[in-house]
């Protein structure tokens, strides 16, 4: 496994970041959910708490393990954005990682908060999708040919 970029770890640690997990159902229909608990405890994998066993995302993640399907994750804060594609690795219902995540849930939502389990995602592809980074990539690859003609006209 590769170490996640420091900038991404910082985004994951920031409670103001929006963290979205994308799965697909049996027909391939996308299902997106916000997972505020999404983080990395080891700098290599992603983990997040699942509140209830019967959620659509939980069903889709189990199916992803069975049929070797990828999931997609997006972490965004302002103009910073990362997309991660990876595979669900395991679902924890006990152990030290579970304890860390339930303690965090209780710190956020109160002492009665509960979680069903913790998903572990192994990243396979990490892309910085921030607008400034993407613009620099396009400029390097295509030069000024990516510019809309109206932008060039306005510069005159």
Q: Is residue 145 part of a domain?
A: no
Report pLDDT for 153. Answer: 55
CATH number at residue 99: 2.30.110.10
Q: Is residue 83 part of a domain?
A: yes
Give yes or no for residue 78 having a pLDDT over 80: yes
pLDDT digits (tens, 9 = 90+) for 85-130: 999 999 999 999 999 999 999 999 999 999 999 999 999 999 998 8
Q: Is residue 153 part of a domain?
A: no
Residue 61: which pLDDT band, with cuts at 50, 70 and 90? very high
Give yes or no for residue 154 having a pLDDT over 60: no
- Residue ranges making up the domain that contains 99: 6-130
Question: Between these two residues, 154 and 92, which has the higher pLDDT value?
Answer: 92
Report pLDDT for 143. Answer: 64
Domain count, the chain: 1
* 20 touches 32 (CB < 8 A): yes
Q: Is residue 11 part of a domain?
A: yes
Q: Is residue 112 part of a domain?
A: yes
Q: Is residue 139 part of a domain?
A: no
Report pLDDT for 140. Answer: 72
Q: Is residue 143 part of a domain?
A: no
Report pLDDT for 129. Answer: 86
Give yes or no for residue 3 having a pLDDT over 70: yes
Report pLDDT for 2. Answer: 73
């Amino acid at each position: 496994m590769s170490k996640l970029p420091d900038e991404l770890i910082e985004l994951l640690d920031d409670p103001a970041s929006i963290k979205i997990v994308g799965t697909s159902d049996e027909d391939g229909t996308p299902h997106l959910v916000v997972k505020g608990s999404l983080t990395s405890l080891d700098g290599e994998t992603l983990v997040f708490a699942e509140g209830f066993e019967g959620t659509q995302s939980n069903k889709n993640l189990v199916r992803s393990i069975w049929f070797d399907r990828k999931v997609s994750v997006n972490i965004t804060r302002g103009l910073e954005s990362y997309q991660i594609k990876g595979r669900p690795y395991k679902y924890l219902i006990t152990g030290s990682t579970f304890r860390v995540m339930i303690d965090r849930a209780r710190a956020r939502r109160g002492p009665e908060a509960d979680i069903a389990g913790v998903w572990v995602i192994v990243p396979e592809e990490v892309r910085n999708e921030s607008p400034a980074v993407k613009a620099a990539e396009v400029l390097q690859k295509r030069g000024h040919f990516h510019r809309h003609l109206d932008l060039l006209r306005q510069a005159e």
